[in-house]
Amino acid sequence: MSPLLTDPADFSTLVQHFFAERLLQQQAVSPRTVAAYRDTFRLLLGYAERQLGKPPANLALGDFDAELILGFLAHLEAERHNTVRSRNARLAAVRAFARYVAVQCPPALLLVQRILAIPMKRFNKPLLGFLSRNEVQALLTAPNPTTWYGRRDRVLLQLLYNTGARVSELIGIRVHDLELGGTSSVRLHGKGRKQRTVPLWKETIVEIRRWLQFASLQADQPLLPNRWGKPMTRSNIAQRVSRAVSTATPQCPSLQGRIVSPHTLRQRVRNQCSHLYLG
């Protein structure tokens, strides 16, 4: 076996260069992607240590064969109770490293090919509920416009409906991302540092102007802050959408028992809004 596959120092160097050079310098991936890949390797190294009886510092590239990776993926589902989607995300990180190794370490090509042959696992995507126009309108007007939270939540819901933004894009909006002039729009920051500009409807502009005047937000502040002035979290957004559903249900009984998420509002508008991609 080639020394490149048995020397722990060579494996450590490959991992370090994969993160520092391949991901950060060459591909310039987002911090979120780096964190996801880091967590995958933390879990994989821990699993390898338990299975092989070697501390991470003594592990070599040759230890990471297809059999170990398959066992790791089974461990994620059976013992850590990861969903198939999470399992596939971990495999995607391992595959990215394997492709890097194939170029940097040709003696490992057979090992890499076997890892890359591990398939993603298929799964059934749940059907998303569809909101009628009346149900959407009931949600948009549910928050109390006389309170701080109510005014913010009206902007939150209106932006979800208007832009079809992902939750991560929504909570990343700063006041300076808004253009409220002749052609009003909002700049969204998506995955991989991509940006897109989405036109704003008149109803959305009205809610935003009222909110900005009420909250006196500065240009560099989050448009949708929590009570401490920090950006809202995913769980905050989900809670406020659920609260709007509860408030709107007495006036719109068809919402009774419905599971409405931020993505539900996105689905209604995805084909209605044209996006200008800025790269």
Tally of CB atoms within 10 A around 162: 23
> Cα(115)–Cα(23) distance, rounded to whole angstroms?
20
User: Any catalytic annotation for residue 191?
Assistant: yes
Is 263 one of the annotated active-site residues of the chain? yes
Set 50, 191, 234, 258: catalytic member: 191
Per-residue b/e over 166-197, b at no fewer than 16 CB within 10 Å?
bbebbbbbbeebbeeeeebbbbbbeeeeeebb
With left for phi above 0 and alpha for psi between -120 and 50, is residue 28 left, alpha or beta? left
User: What six digits make up the tokens of 54?
Assistant: 């070697």
**151 has catalytic annotation:** no
Catalytic residue among 154, 240, 266, 268: 266
Contact (Cβ atoms closer than 8 angstroms) between residue 138 and residue 148: no
Annotated active-site residue 42? The verdict is no
Catalytic sites, residue numbers: 166, 191, 263, 266
